[in-house]
Structure 1
Amino acid sequence: MTTPLKTTTLDVPKNGLRGVANDARSLSFWAENAAPVGLVLLVIVFAALSPTFLTLGNIQAMLIAAAILIILAVAQSYVITTGGIDLSISATMTLGAVGFGLAFQAGLGFWLAALVAVVTSGAVGVVNGLLIAKGKVTDFIATLGTLSVATGLALILTSGAPISVTSPELIRLTTGRVWILGFPFLIAAGIAVVFWFVMFRTRFGLHVQAVGGSEEAAVANGVSAQRVRIMVYVLAGMLAGVASILLVARIGAAEPAINTAYLLNSIAAVVLGGVALTGGRGKIVGPVLGALLLTALTNGLTLLGVSQFYQPLAVGLVVVLAALLTRFQKK
């Protein structure tokens, strides 16, 4: 008769694994909630340092300023959830703005010009999607190329000069509000709600997350990864077109010069919002809060009289910290 083998256990210090687990949970918490926690901390700090930070006028200005970035962050979230990235999104928005300006200048009126802007930007998204899904070009190279092409087209079509645009609709868009919520922010918030629903309550949103999580597994379950990738880049382009209309309304002109800050900040907002750069983890609320955080950071530093030369440094440090924390996100 054989005696059963005794199982031995490792002599782990009482607080050893438990302490490690607690630390991991703590880091995971910060990784998952970097945007909301950071936003609350910024509000507290800037409210204490600047008496005008929490005035109704400044809050309204911040929300309006954040509208464009919120839309671009939502667009970038879909792309990054599939494991890709869109480096052309700012140039796509610029080209959409130029399309709007040229159409309005040709006498098409506000609504048709707005349609031209969305279609023009959407066309860039189509090119991105086809290059990546059908042409098997890496997303980095494909969107870097279309960034350059869109920038060049915007400059060529306008000869490098801004197109002044004035219309009652644009004035209403910039000045209209419901309480302290300006129309641009309400549009951005509406887009965020719609795309949250699409991401988490529709089959397409499930497919977006599945492709980013494991393309092979998604294809094995009948998902057309190519179609999903094309659609994601088309949606990102069209959202950039919507943002271009708000951009024209804000500055009163279709400016052909690209603003790279929107590109960098749209990716930064997604990182702050807890979306994994490796794909498969879709979020909408987090990137929206990330966009608000970056806007509040820039606004607060401006109110404190900090030189604009230091503001990109501050944003960069925040983003690097958030990127480091993503290593501890829950799988």
Structure 2
Amino acid sequence: MSNTAPTTPPPTTSRSIDLRRRLADPTFWADSASLVGFVGLVIIFWILDPTFVTTGNIQAMLSAGAILVVLTVGQTFTVATGGIDLAVASTMTFSAIMFGVAFGAGWPTLVCCLVAIVAGTAFGLLQGVLIGRGGITDFIVTLGGLSVASGLALVISDGQPQTVVDGFMLRLSTQGIGIVGYAVIVAFAVAVLAHVVLFHTRFGTHVLAAGGAREAATATGISVPRIKTAVYTISGSCAGLAGVLLVARIGAAEPAANTQFLLNAVAAVVLGGVALVGGRATIIGPFFGALLLTALTNGLTLVGVSQYYQPVAVGTVVVAAAYLSRYQK
């Protein structure tokens, strides 16, 4: 007679139970939509076309995504207060043109970069004052700002691009550390700085408070008009920096409108889990949201999908992310 005890299946560990519950919880997918979607897209396009993960293509994606990351960071601050900056792409174009004007006048390249950033900051400050101090709805102000910035870019440049041939700008767009270009490093630094400001400073706390509960924030002594002015100024500064990166990438200051950047910046914020009503934000989510949209466009191009269908794909992803946002805590 055997004394061996009958074997029983090992009990399910509490960790595996927690994992199953987390995966079954829609909140997990809502909060992780940009990261999960980015990883999923990389795997899918890698299977469909192995060239998607080649060094050259990764460098191209990161370089293209750097501009969108910077714009998205600025947009995150405005959305965190319950607003939106519809002029962010036009401000970028206006800043790029101001870079071109300074460059054409023979100014040093670094001074031209400063001119572009100051131009974007000033435009954002003007919008912020009208919204915060003037009490005008952000949608109306930034919609008008979109038209004004685009018009100024055309008037100042006379509708003609300014070619920029410069060693510093060329290195900014084509060189870097390994496969990570200098433009990507700049974008990553902006994202890290934004994360620190938003979650480790009093100003960041005030931004989230102003978006989450305006009356309560005012009651505790927070100046909501001042916060509104500040976040649109930040958005303008990011647009100015994005204008510099755009000039470096295409080698010219183009007055043509870049409306796709506006749509993608808003889409990346939505994908990143930032609450459109304000009060809830993250930098990591929009960062991966920007990379996701860049990877989506790049992957669709590689597999031969017409560029006419690409906005449809982006719009579908955004609507899906907005639906998931219903489950956010």
Q: Give the TM-score taking structure 1 as reference length.
A: 0.92
Any conservation in 1 of the 2:129–2:229 contact (CA below 8 Å)?
yes
Match of 1:179 in 2: 178
Match of 1:50 in 2: 49
Give secondary structure in 1 for the equivalent of 2:290: helix
Match of 1:257 in 2: 256
Give secondary structure in 1 for the equivalent of 2:53: coil
Query: Once the 2 structures are TM-superposed, how far is the Cα of residue 324 of structure 1 from its aligned partner?
Result: 1.1
1:12-161 equivalences under 5 Å are 26-161=25-160
Match of 1:191 in 2: 190
Identity, % of aligned pairs?
Answer: 56
Aligned CA-pair RMSD: 1.2
Give secondary structure in 1 for the equivalent of 2:52: coil
Give secondary structure in 2 for the equivalent of 1:281: coil
Distance 1:276 1:25, change over 3 A: farther
Query: Once the 2 structures are TM-superposed, how far is the Cα of residue 175 of structure 1 from its aligned partner?
Result: 1.7
Question: Matched residues in 2 for 1:294 and 1:195: separation?
Answer: 20
Question: Matched residues in 2 for 1:23 and 1:44: separation?
Answer: 22
Q: 1:92-129: per-residue Cα shift (whole Å, max 9, x none)?
A: 00000000000111111101111110111111101110
Question: Matched residues in 2 for 1:62 and 1:166: separation?
Answer: 23
Query: Once the 2 structures are TM-superposed, how far is the Cα of residue 23 of structure 1 from its aligned partner?
Result: 10
Any conservation in 2 of the 1:24–1:328 contact (CA below 8 Å)?
no
Any conservation in 2 of the 1:100–1:114 contact (CA below 8 Å)?
yes
More displaced 10-residue stretch of structure 1: 157-166 or 23-32: 23-32
Any conservation in 1 of the 2:270–2:321 contact (CA below 8 Å)?
yes
Unaligned stretches of 5+ in structure 1? 1-21
Question: Matched residues in 1 for 2:221 and 2:301: separation?
Answer: 51
Any conservation in 1 of the 2:153–2:255 contact (CA below 8 Å)?
yes
Match of 2:305 in 1: 306
Match of 1:269 in 2: 268
Query: Once the 2 structures are TM-superposed, how far is the Cα of residue 24 of structure 1 from its aligned partner?
Result: 11
Query: Once the 2 structures are TM-superposed, how far is the Cα of residue 255 of structure 1 from its aligned partner?
Result: 0.3
Give secondary structure in 2 for the equivalent of 1:53: helix
Question: Matched residues in 1 for 2:318 and 2:191: separation?
Answer: 22
Question: Matched residues in 1 for 2:152 and 2:169: separation?
Answer: 24
Letter of the structure 1 residue corresponding to residue 262 of structure 2: L
Question: Matched residues in 2 for 1:136 and 1:223: separation?
Answer: 16
Q: Give the TM-score taking structure 2 as reference length.
A: 0.92
Letter of the structure 2 residue corresponding to residue 171 of structure 1: L
Give secondary structure in 2 for the equivalent of 1:52: helix
Question: Matched residues in 2 for 1:179 and 1:250: separation?
Answer: 18
Any conservation in 1 of the 2:30–2:321 contact (CA below 8 Å)?
yes
1:272-291 equivalences under 5 Å are 272-291=271-290
Letter of the structure 2 residue corresponding to residue 304 of structure 1: V
Query: Once the 2 structures are TM-superposed, how far is the Cα of residue 315 of structure 1 from its aligned partner?
Result: 0.5
Match of 1:243 in 2: 242
Query: Once the 2 structures are TM-superposed, how far is the Cα of residue 167 of structure 1 from its aligned partner?
Result: 1.0
Q: 1:17-62: per-residue Cα shift (whole Å, max 9, x none)?
A: xxxxx79962211111110111111011100000101111111111
